Amino acid sequence: MFKKVRLLKVLDLGWNDSSDLCHKMQRNICNLQYLRHLNLFHCQTIQELPSIICKLHDLLSLDLHGCSSLKRLPDGIGDLINLRFLRTADCFGLSSYPKGIGRLTSLRTLTDIIVSADCDSPTVFCLGDLENLNNLCGNLRLKLIGNAIDVQEVDKAKLQNKTRLREIKIYLDGGIDRAAATTALNPHPSMSVRVFNHSEW
């Protein structure tokens, strides 16, 4: 599938419902060492991304928008150190995000993120893992899971330093009070913060 295009920089597989798409990627995508942009928009049969994707160290954008059957992102996603755009809107099967996303300091666009609000987990993305993502721009949808907001995690997140983010939409999944969420997160003064129930996610 990909063997004759080793120098390929853009791979558009959007709207591909092939049942063996993931298998083909696992087998062949390692040949695309110069790949910059991978589009898997609306590939609804994908349940799990092949871990080999994490070896595409020159990858700049990964579009997973509408991959509604996707259940998890690879733990090694933090190795994509040059990634600037990660789109995961309408990936309804995701219940958490890997902690490694916090290492993607080149990220400009992160459309959605699910965050543990009340603990520092060694495996899943927590509020404090936003600490070094200071290049984020535009809008961010953030689902907060938990019954309380860990103050230490808020301090680590340093939302006041995310000066390029215009708006954060917070979706509460747990017992966190709406007003408390807005106040506790201490966003940058120019940042718009809107709070919703998790059912609106």
Residues 6+ apart with CB under 8 A from 165: 136, 137, 138, 139, 140, 159, 188, 191
Q: Tokens 């009340």 sit at which residue?
A: 118
In the chain, the largest separation of any two C-alpha atoms, in whole Å, equals 56
Of all residues in the chain, the percent with pLDDT exceeding 90 is: 79
Residues 6+ apart with CB under 8 A from 20: none
| Residue 108 structure tokens | 């400009």
pLDDT digits (tens, 9 = 90+) for 151-178: 899 999 999 999 999 999 999 999 998 8
Of all residues in the chain, the percent with pLDDT exceeding 70 is: 98
Of the ranges 20-29, 99-108, 192-201, which is most confident? 99-108
Residue 47 CA to chain centroid, in angstroms? Answer: 16
pLDDT digits (tens, 9 = 90+) for 74-118: 999 999 999 999 999 999 999 999 999 999 999 999 999 999 998
C-alpha–C-alpha distance, residues 43 and 183, integer Å:
38
pTM metric for this prediction: 0.93
